[in-house]
Structure 1
Amino acid sequence: MKEYETITEVSGPLVFAEVDEPVGYDEMVEIQTPQGETKRGQILESEEGLVAIQVFEGTSGIDRNASVRFLGKTLKMDLTEDLLGRVLDGSGQPIDGGPDVVADEKRDIVGAAINPVSREYPEEFIQTGVSAIDGMNTLVRGQKLPIFSASGLPHNELALQIARQASVPEAEAAGEDSEFAVIFGAMGITQEEANEFMADFERTGALERSVVFMNLADDPAVERTVTPRLALTTAEYLAFDKGYHVLTILTDMTNYCEALREIGAAREEVPGRRGYPGYMYTDLASLYERAGRIDGREGSVTQIPILTMPGDDDTHPIPDLTGYITEGQIMMDRDLNSQGVEPPINVLPSLSRLMDDGIGEGYTRGDHADVKDQLFAAYAEGVELRDLENIVGREALDDRQNRLLDFADQFETEFVEQGYDTDRDIDDTLDIGWDLLSLLPRSELNRVGEDLIEEYYQDDVEEVAAD
């Protein structure tokens, strides 16, 4: 390995150095500072005679007297099934006080694209224990379903709830050998948030089936660009080599995109929308498209990326591009949060595009699709009537309209509201849905089959509501 002392410039998280031989893109680098500190980096750009190096540990202490060594290899993740239960930093190094990782194999963190011909269509239901997701916007194995949140909303609490409650009831009922694992990748979070995450993982025992990657707000921004790739490489190994059903939770993707923007500015790239790199769509797709199932492989990788929308703007480039790539979104709502609804999920703008293929007989319950459609219709009309109520008053509305208003209120307080410690299975969720539908006259249930009405509708509830 050649050693160079040819650093020409240090700009933000980047170091520029002159070279006299070709250097490969993504190649790993060691930089020795004049103070004797060794820092790791990666080639971000390579031109004839000049390379740009992104430094994972930050560029403080690096000057023109520092030396650069090119290692001739790309960044790889140490992989073993023993990673379950471990806590790693954003660059994949253990920070839990445990032993060093003894790898069964090392794998490039960029990953390999799944051949479309080999992809299995996502179908099987994943139960999160959260009614607003399981009942109304169901997650299925191999799907990528992001959570769109905003600053100050409790997306961390929802992420922890999903991490400790998620299960694959169909596989468990069938006695399949596949186990369930959670990969939790945190990017740019505060130390306080990190402490809360770890306290919850340890308190609930969820850490035993999890691998946690923790990149803090005071860690270098460059490290955030590798954290999700390390997490997804681990997820792919557990899923496709060891047969696990892996749920990968990545939070906060907004911090990841800000790191891309910071690096782009340091490289003096021509910016795209709102200053973000023009290649951000491709970059995000390279992460999100690593979810899926492979024909002939037992395991699966399911993704729940979480992002905070800057200024609560769902047209901002980060949620906008994420929505194009993924199969729906779970929307958190500031008004519901101010009313004390936990979790504050607004089911109306939320969407799971693959839901219909993962619910019903053989997956959840035969009445699931009809119940979901009827709840959506009644709740949407009830919410719309709130505007009319504000104009003309409750007394000016007829009995049907008042019943729909009451339904909308109770849907939020009984179906969506459940707290962060309540784990509802799908039968509990659908039973609550029928309790709410029974508040309405039978004539209003025009999206539910007559046989289902006869089986589940409760006339005594409707009579009480009428009184």
Structure 2
Amino acid sequence: MSGADGRALLRVEHSGVVAVHGPLLVLSAVEGTGWDEFAQVRVRTDGTRRHDRHGVVLEVDRDVAVVQVLEGTDGLVPETTGVVFTGSPLRVPVGPGWLGRVCNGRGEPMDGGPPVSGASTAAVAGSPLNPTRRLSPAEPVLTGISVIDALTTLVRGQKLPIFSAAGLPHLELAAQLAAQSTAGGEPFCVVFAGMGLTHADADAVRDVLEERLDAGELVLMLNTADDPVIERILTPRIALTVAEHLAFELGRHVLVVLADMTSYAEALREVSSARGELPGRRAYPGYLYSDLASLYERCGRIEGTPGSVTVVPVLTMPAGDITHPVPDLTGYITEGQVVLSHEAHARGVYPPVDPLGSLSRLMRNGAGKGHTREGHVEVAAQLLAALARARDVAELSELVGTEGLSATDRLYLELEDHLERDLVHQGRTERRTLDETLRRCWGVVGTLPRRELAMLPTGLLDRYGVQSP
């Protein structure tokens, strides 16, 4: 191994392991070791090395170092365990060799192929980005899913999470996004990082994404629930490192899907507990906000480079609680959210998105004239306003009955049904074009008379054939 200046680094095996705590090793009499340094953990039996594991330095205090073991510490005994520090942070090879590959959460092949190689390597922690070179997200990522493309448009360089709950098809939606999304004909690829998945879910994701894998447009990383917890912390960092190189060095627009970030946060909590750190809200570490930000903020566009990184984190809200620390802190960092609804799911709607609970704060940057189509932003705003009115009317009808509503109020109830049936609901493998999606939007708007469409200019109403009352 060589250092940054090309000189060989002397590797010394430290045998001073004094304790094993969960996924952590505690070493004494360590010199010259730094935080985030990569290490090899060597296990010996009867004086011969049996196998190596890998670790990262979490903490250094004088001559004591704490190393988290990526493969877990099962079977490790302090007396027969040694650690070799490599002198640099964990790095992975980067380049187009990742495309079309299926790997575990540490980046090791699961598809029977050789190890992923590249002409260069990059630190999994990422590199600081000069904020003056960061460009505002612009231009859409078209997902082929009408409710997202029409009402919460995803923009290149944006971070837009999906908030879900147990029992909802968030993983199916995440896989569909990864399988269908495009950048309107420009170079595009997807990095999908699954965390804490069951084997059945991992197989299902792989099946859905098989076509994109075969086309060499996808990197698939699968961390399953029985994999070491430390691997789960590493998975999104490797995924984002690969995505950054594909985007900022190779000029691709990259969509990174991270599912499920709640599993990631629980792994972080477990490691924090093993380190004996003072817990914060719901026993999560006090640095949960900054840790999540260190992942989410790696998306964006950089001045002078043609590519972009767009991040869609998927997270489940325990008991559907949106104030839970993971969705709560995620909402502070990201630019909107797509919220899934138990009520819509119970009615058989897929995807069960609640349009009024969902929001894309950067939609105006990537939708409308010059981006998608003239009138897109206006018709989306009108649909959401009409849906809000329809919800109010539905509450009123519970008090006075449908017979007590005016004719216009009954049209609003029809609009909500029409929107859910013709715009939101679609097949799990159905990819709708933007023209088809917007045609459906105007069809739903046409449920109401013109006098109720105050947010739409007359010219647009004439152009898209909305009839007068």
Relative to structure 1, the CA distance from residue 258 to residue 61 in structure 2 (aligned partners, 3 Å threshold; closer, same or farther) is same
Task: Check whether the contact 1:129–1:425 (CA below 8 A) recurs between aligned residues.
Answer: yes
Number of positions where the alignment pairs a residue of Structure 1 with one of Structure 2: 454
Q: Among residues 106, 112, 117, which one is paired with 2:121 in the alignment?
A: 106
Shift of 1:457: 3.0
Indicate how the Cα distance of structure 1 residues 205 and 271 shifts in structure 2: closer, same or farther if over 3 A, else same. closer
1:81 and 2:96 correspond:
yes
The separation in 1 between residues aligned to 2:213 and 2:112, in whole angstroms, is: 18
* Partners of 2:176 and 2:208 within 8 A in 1: no
Distance (whole Å) between structure 1 residues aligned to residue 398 and residue 326 of structure 2: 35
In the aligned structure 2, how far is the partner of 1:348 from the partner of 1:94?
42
For 1:301-380, list aligned pairs within 5 A: 301-380=309-388
Q: Distance in 1 between matches of 2:366 and 2:392?
A: 29
Give 3-state SS (helix, strand or coil) of 1:8's partner: strand
5+ residue gaps, structure 1, are 173-177
Structure-2 residue corresponding to 1:175: none
- Per the alignment, residue 392 of structure 2 pairs with 384
Partner of 2:301: 293
Correspondence 1:222 to 2:217:
no
Q: Which runs of 5+ in 2 are unaligned?
A: 1-10
Q: Match of 2:196?
A: 188
- Do 1:201 and 1:207's aligned partners in 2 also have CA atoms closer than 8 Å? no
Q: 1:146 to 1:16 in 2, by over 3 A?
A: same
Residues 42, 82 of structure 2: 8 Å contact kept? yes
Note if contact 1:33-1:61 (Cα within 8 Å) is conserved in structure 2: no
Aligned-pair identity in percent equals 45
Query: Does the 8 A contact of 1:14 with 1:54 survive in 2?
Result: yes
Structure 1 residue matching 2:216: 3-state secondary structure? helix
Match of 2:4 in 1: none
Q: Please tell me whether residue 130 in structure 1 is matched to residue 140 in structure 2.
A: no
Q: Decide which of 19, 33, 50 is 2:64's aligned counterpart.
A: 50
Letter in 2 for 1:83: W
How far off its partner does 1:75 sit?
A: 0.7
Q: Which residue of 1 aligns with 2:207?
A: 199
Q: Distance in 2 between matches of 1:277 and 1:99?
A: 38
For the pair 1:69 / 2:87, whether they are aligned, the reply is: no
Whether contact under 8 Å (2:99, 2:213) holds in the other structure is no
Superposition map of 1:247-286 within 5 A: 247-286=255-294
Q: Which residue of 2 aligns with 1:4?
A: 14
Contact 1:415 1:432 in 2 (8 A): yes
Q: Give the corresponding residue for 2:178.
A: 163
> Which of 70, 73, 78 is residue 59 of structure 1 equivalent to?
73
Q: Is residue 78–residue 104 contact of structure 1 (8 Å, CA) maintained in 2? A: yes
Within the candidate set 12, 20, 34, 1:24 is matched to 34
Which secondary structure does the structure 2 equivalent of 1:111 belong to?
coil
Distance 1:206 1:276 in 2: 39
Checking the alignment, whether the CA contact within 8 Å between 1:89 and 1:214 is kept in structure 2 is: yes
Q: Deviations over 1:177-213 (max 9, x none)?
A: x410000011111111110011111156566200111
Match for residue 40 of structure 1? 54
- SS of residue in 1 equivalent to 2:313: strand
Report the alpha carbon displacement of residue 391 of structure 1 after superposing the two structures with TM.
2.1
| 1:116 alignment counterpart | 131
Give structure 1 regions of 4+ aligned residues with deviation exceeding 6 angstroms.
none
Taking structure 2 as the reference length, what is the TM-score of the superposition?
A: 0.94
Task: State the secondary structure of the residue aligned to 1:102.
Answer: coil
Superposed displacement of residue 9, structure 1: 1.3
Q: Secondary structure at the match of 1:372?
A: helix
Q: Name the structure 2 match of 1:144.
A: 159
**Greater displacement, 13-22 / 296-305:** 13-22
Task: Give the conservation status (yes or no) of the 8 Å contact 1:131–1:415.
Answer: yes
Residue type of the partner of 1:116? P
> What does the per-residue CA deviation read over 1:343-401, in whole Å, with 9 as the maximum and x for residues that have no partner?
00101011111001211111011110110111001111112222222222111111111
Find the aligned partners of 1:205 and 1:40 in 2 and give their Cα distance: 28
TM-score normalised according to structure 1 size:
0.95
